[in-house]
Copies of this chain bind each other. A is one copy, B any other.
Amino acid sequence: MALVEQVLDGDRLALARLLTLVENDDPQGLATLDALYPHTGNAHIIGLTGGTGTGKSTLVNQLARYVRQQGIPGNGGAARQIRIAVVAVDPTSPFSGGAILGDRIRMRDLAGDPNVFIRSMATRGALGGLALRTRPVVQTLDAAGYDWVLVETVGAGQSEVEVARTAHTTIVVDAPGLGDEVQAIKAGILETADVLVLNKADLPGADRAATALRTSLRLGPSDSEAGNGGWQVPILMTVATEGNGIAEVVEAISRHRTHLQASGEWVQRVRLRVERELRELLAQTLLASLLDRQPEGAFAEIVNQVEERKLSPRAAVAQLTQQARA
């Protein structure tokens, strides 16, 4: 299987081709991913989420630039050079592929670096959840030897929370002055955060916003309840456009990994992630298989009956699953 070796050898074109195959559920692509699976498990998967207007993408670009130039804190304090992949998930776009998001253009200075890989991923109209679609892409990049796989999602809806949960470390980005509703969102999204970043910290209201974040954090579940093994969520101030505060974010991410591994939570998170992935894949597979086994037109006929309110959705499902068992 040539593609497997090419990807393990660091062939970027082969990697890009494999990602496209994997994203399209191509059988060869999925078989290649199966073969690569034993090579996964080394990457530090970092989810980064936040509302519109927080300057999230600029922050991601600066993080990538910083870790390529400075490395990350290694054992004994010496910097460690790493390879970084960025997956920019755009739930509103139907186009996947290279670095196509408008603001990717800012990463031009990283474009020639063989140890940076940027991939835009569109999930609009995709079947299954966001996590179901991004996971194989992340696994491919993990197998390809990227030390950090940073998954950036737009917005703060449930699907973003879902993606955050598939990561080892979740960064939530906020900015001052984003309107009243943000407060309400924060209250929930905060609990998924391992690292909080207040970007655009040079804007008026930054101190007030940081205080609000600190208060919200205190109002959230205490450390013991949240089961995060004593991790104190840091609130970091950045001005991504100027590169200010980036070093501190990189340091916090590295420190969080050390904490997860020391507390045993790393293993726990991986286990939860694997279990969730299996459940989702199973559900999709079982559904496809049941529908395949229906006589032609049978499912459409049941849809008709529900549409005409002769059958409730639950009764229809009971009928279909009993048939399958008989």
Residues in chain A within 8 A of chain B (CB atoms): 30, 33-34, 37-38, 40-41, 51-57, 90-94, 101-103, 123-124, 126, 129-130, 153-161, 178-185, 187-189, 270-271, 274-275, 277-279, 281-287, 289-291, 299, 302-303, 306-307, 309-317, 320-321
Chain B nearest CB from A227 CB (Å) reads 14
Of B51, B101, B188, B275, the contact of A124 (CB 8 Å cutoff) = B188
Of B124, B282, B283, B315, the contact of A34 (CB 8 Å cutoff) = B315
Chain B nearest CB from A104 CB (Å) reads 11
- Copies of this chain, tallied across the complex: 2
A281:B181 contact, CB within 8 angstroms: no
CA distance A160 to B33 in the complex (A): 31
Give chain B residues whose Cβ lies under 8 Å from the Cβ of A161: 91-92, 124
Give chain B residues whose Cβ lies under 8 Å from the Cβ of A302: 278
A181:B154 contact, CB within 8 angstroms: yes
Contact A274:B92 (CB < 8 A) given known A52-B51, A314-B30: no
Give chain B residues whose Cβ lies under 8 Å from the Cβ of A126: 158
CB nearest to A30 among chain B residues? B314
A312:B92 contact, CB within 8 angstroms: no
Give chain B residues whose Cβ lies under 8 Å from the Cβ of A285: 317, 321
Give chain B residues whose Cβ lies under 8 Å from the Cβ of A313: 37, 274, 277-278, 281
Of B37, B180, B278, the contact of A103 (CB 8 Å cutoff) = B180
Contact A283:B287 (CB < 8 A) given known A154-B157, A155-B157: yes
